[in-house]
Amino acid sequence: MHADLERVIALQHLDTAAADARRKLAEGPERDKTFDTRLADAKQRVADAKARLAVNSDARRAIEKEVAVHQGRLSKYRDQAMAVKTNQEYRAIQHEMAHAQGEIKKHEDAILERMMEADEVTAAIKAAEADLAALQKAIDAERSKMKAEDAERQKALDKLVADRAGLIAQIDKQVLAIYERIAANRHGVAVADAHAGICSVCHVRLRPQVANIVRRNESIVQCDSCQRILYAQLPGAASHVS
């Protein structure tokens, strides 16, 4: 195989691996943002449940104050009943007492409803707090794992960069210029293998003469369609280009 052709194939492999590493490293802030959003949502569910409990508590205290008012009135009516002198006055006092007792019963029922609601909300708070704790633990573990993976990825990227520097020093400057120009215009992919006379990237069939030259792997040949540098995959060899 032509020496520079073999080198640009290897260079493409390095550049593809480096681009993948950079892409994954760049995803870090977005991953953290997603984690923060999930945690914020879970914390908001806890806060919302606690806010419902506070509203419930305020409502219950307001009702208890109403009960106290009506109990005070009932006590006053009972005292007045001891001092009435006519049946008409007694019936009027009895009516007021019955009304006060009815209001007390109605408000006590409302208090019971608030107590039952408070039990449900308290259970919801505990569940939301448990979910938050579990989510926090899972995200902390995931962040720790990703931090370790990113450290390894950065280490690998540094090696790829160093290997690239060593490799490009061996490539003919004109060939390297062709590679760099194509890579800049073709999303980083400057090299493609040709199988059965077809460019594997743009899928355009090569002219027979070009296909024959490519099969020999003895020169730098570009695809007439996409301009990528072409090579023929040797039988039984694994592809070096992604």
Report the alpha-carbon distance of residue 13 to residue 192 in Å, rounded.
Answer: 11
Q: Report if pTM > 0.75.
A: no
Q: Determine the pLDDT at residue 242.
A: 42
Predicted confidence at residue 84, as pLDDT, reads 86
- Which pLDDT score is estimated for 239? 46
Give me the chain's average pLDDT, please. Answer: 94
Q: How far is 209 from 221, CA to CA, in rounded Å?
A: 11
Whether the predicted pLDDT of 41 surpasses 90 = yes
pLDDT tens for each residue of 173-187: 999 999 999 999 999
Residue type at 21 in one-letter notation: A
Closest CA to 150 of 236, 19, 17, 25: 25
Average pLDDT for 10-26: 97
Domains in the chain: ranges and CATH: 26-168 (1.10.287.1490), 172-231 (no CATH)
- Identify the helix (H) or strand (E) that includes residue 34: helix 28-81
Distance between CA 63 and CA 75 in Å, rounded? 18
pLDDT over 60 at 238, yes or no: no
pLDDT 10s digits, 102-142:
999 999 999 999 999 999 999 999 999 999 999 999 999 99
Q: pLDDT value at position 240? A: 43
**What residue type is 151 in one-letter code?**
A
